[in-house]
Amino acid sequence: MCGIAGLLNFRHPPDPEHSRAMIASLRHRGPDAHGFYTEGPVALGHARLSIVDLEGGAQPMSSADRRVWVSFNGEIFNHVELRAALERHGHRFATRSDTEVIVQAYLAYGDSCVDHLNGQFAFALWDASRQRLLLARDRLGIRPLFFTRTGSQLAFASEVKALFALPNVPRRLNPQGLGEIFTTWAALPPNTIFEGVASLGPGECMTVDAEGSRIWRYWDWNFPCAPGVEPYASADDAAEALRELLIDCVRLQLRADVPVGAYLSGGLDSAIVATLARQFTDTPLRTFSLTFDDAEFDESAEQRILVDHLGGEHTTLRCTRADIAASMPQAVWHAESPILRSAPVPLMLLAAHVRASGYKVVLTGEGADEVFGGYDLFKEARIRRFMARRPQSAWRGSLLERLYPYLRHSPAASRALAQRFFADGAEHLDEPGFGHLPRWNTTRRAWQFLAPDVRAQLGDWDALHAMAAQVPPHFQKWHPLAQDQYIEAHTLMSGYLLSSQGDRMAMAHSVEGRFPFLDHRLIAFGNRLPPRYKLMGLTEKWLLKRAMRGLIPEAIRMRTKQPYRAPDSQSFFEHGEPVDYVADLMSSKAISDAGYFDPKAVNKLFAKCQAGRAIGFADNMAFMGVLSTMLLHSQFMGASIPQTRDEKVPVLS
């Protein structure tokens, strides 16, 4: 895992010192080495975290004739197989690096090289003979890539802070991005939270030459348009095929020249990854877990079951509310986005512990819920569609009581309240986003805290309409569960879980996260399955659980999904008093000076949280959203920033 940055300017050759300043801001992504290439209109930079071919993978890397240069962030997991195929066609390699596989694949296949890569990546490839730049991002958007234009110059980088290292790139928050984050949890590509900064989307490529630029999507989630022939003779056959494919996905992602660890949350997905690694490979695997003082968030009992089952070395990191408050500024600095929950912060602290333990790579269970129908949202949507056909049928509401057993304040706790909650948006039954509407409406309540002029700039923007404009033409022909999976993958997963909570928190401490469930072969497998194999009644991930019979403890295999969460607004008050920097940033003057929020509305929210009366999702998300936006403004707009413990939070100047 690494950081990349570069400049392209056909009118004025880029200043090499600018690319060096960009890479300097990414040293947390690549502390092991830096490299640069500048010639004519292009400048490429690279910050390296050594994982594969520790001695021979220096970047930017070129072809033997120096015609093709690449700066690469990520891993190509099938580099061994792809190298062998290319060698059979006469290609010669000078290193064992997966970076060189990209160079040779481009020489063999051109822009279609991305179709041959199984990995998580973002890269910039300069073809000197064609005077043409190719930018590419992996299918799922696991690794980030941003770009901006100033005059005739294109600048691109793994993180926005590298773009802001350039003297002529303005720093302004984008009201449109803010409104989208305060609805769908993430800005919708190409939008970002920063004005004038765009994100290359998951599964997208971009080419730039003297004639202009082009962006296209080379891969996307796809589902059958109508029920067809069952792909397997029986559920047992499907489960066996799934188990074999999962073993291969885990095996592939264990490839590294450094030790590999794994996160154990206490849930099914991380248990599967760790178990398959332990039982079906020879790779020694150390596991790491988070625990909390609050029983509502703590899963230590389930973690102990798994540790006893797996054996091997295991470490637990206890995270307190004070830890979350102290480390929140650093988390926002690395996330480069407002965050609506505190959950990324403990994961950043766990990454620090992983790195201190001598590990650079960890496997996680991220992606299983999106691929195999694991989220409560999918159950919600099934019930809401069921209820929309007979809204007056009282007995249908009893289904709701089976949801959210882990929540202290469940929306299904009151039958009458639940009926109203799940009837929300019934008139949009046939529109893309229907399944997500309750979540989006709950999150969008944070708009009431936006300043009037920000709301005016957002106008009548609506998530349903925005999503309808982004889905593929055949979307409406998919099964409703497939529709919900597609939107979940393109909003919460790619924009938040894999970014603010994934790549950014791990790379804050130079740790590479890997996600076997997001192997594109496994996604294709899951998308071909009959919907009932994913959500059997209200039993989530039915086939995945069936595939794991006899491999993991039954208490874990049949455990109801409990999403990873952490204490939110309550973390920032001690004995009723706010943490110092929180009081400063949430003061009426600071809110008014920044200009994003209504000071009176924020004051009321602050008082409610201080009194411990913010028990619902909406208030907690609004508090976290306002606080993190103010931190972002303070850090990236050049204002002063408080200290956390003895460490200064970085400020761009």
pLDDT of residue 14: 96
Confidence of residue 293 (pLDDT cuts 50, 70, 90): very high
Return the percentage of the chain with pLDDT > 90, whole number.
Answer: 84
pLDDT of residue 58: 86
pLDDT of residue 616: 87
Between helices 617-636 and 321-335, what is the axis angle to 10°? 50
For 368, the token pair is 């299983």
Confidence of residue 511 (pLDDT cuts 50, 70, 90): very high
* Three-class secondary structure assignment of 476-490: HHCCHHHHHHHHHHH
pLDDT of residue 423: 64
Strands 132-137 and 146-150, bridge-based pairing: unpaired
Helix, strand, coil fractions of the chain, as percent rounded to 5: 45, 15, 35
Confidence of residue 406 (pLDDT cuts 50, 70, 90): low
How far from 508 is each of 12, 336, 649, CA to CA, in Å? 34, 11, 12
Mean pLDDT of the chain: 92
For 320, the token pair is 């307190």
- Rounded mean pLDDT of 234-260? 96
pLDDT of residue 643: 36
Lowest-pLDDT choice from 132-146, 196-210, 628-642: 628-642
Strands 33-39 and 42-48, bridge-based pairing: antiparallel
**Residues 633/477, Cβ–Cβ less than 8 Å:** no
Class of domain 235-371+491-557: alpha beta
Does residue 435 register a pLDDT over 50? yes
Q: CA-CA-CA-CA torsion for 318, 319, 322, 325, nearest 10 degrees? A: 160
Confidence of residue 163 (pLDDT cuts 50, 70, 90): very high
Where in the chain are all domains bearing CATH 3.40.50.620?
235-371+491-557
Does residue 647 register a pLDDT over 80? no
- Rounded mean pLDDT of 505-523? 97
Distance in angstroms (rounded) separating the CA atoms of residues 194 and 513: 26
- Rounded mean pLDDT of 413-431? 68
How far from 306 is each of 266, 277, 310, 516, 593, CA to CA, in Å? 7, 13, 6, 19, 50
How far from 135 is each of 6, 217, 244, CA to CA, in Å? 11, 12, 34
Distance in angstroms (rounded) separating the CA atoms of residues 614 and 621: 10
pLDDT of residue 599: 98
Burial of 639: CB neighbours in 10 Å, binned 0-12, 13-18, 19+:
middle
pLDDT of residue 615: 80
For 275, the token pair is 């178990």
pLDDT of residue 410: 55
Where in the chain are all domains bearing CATH 3.60.20.10?
2-217
Second CATH level (architecture) for the domain 2-217: 4-Layer Sandwich (3.60)
- Rounded mean pLDDT of 137-165? 97
| Best CA proximity match to 485, nearest among 143, 187, 224, 205 | 224
pLDDT of residue 459: 96
Does residue 651 register a pLDDT over 50? no
Strands 512-514 and 361-363, bridge-based pairing: parallel
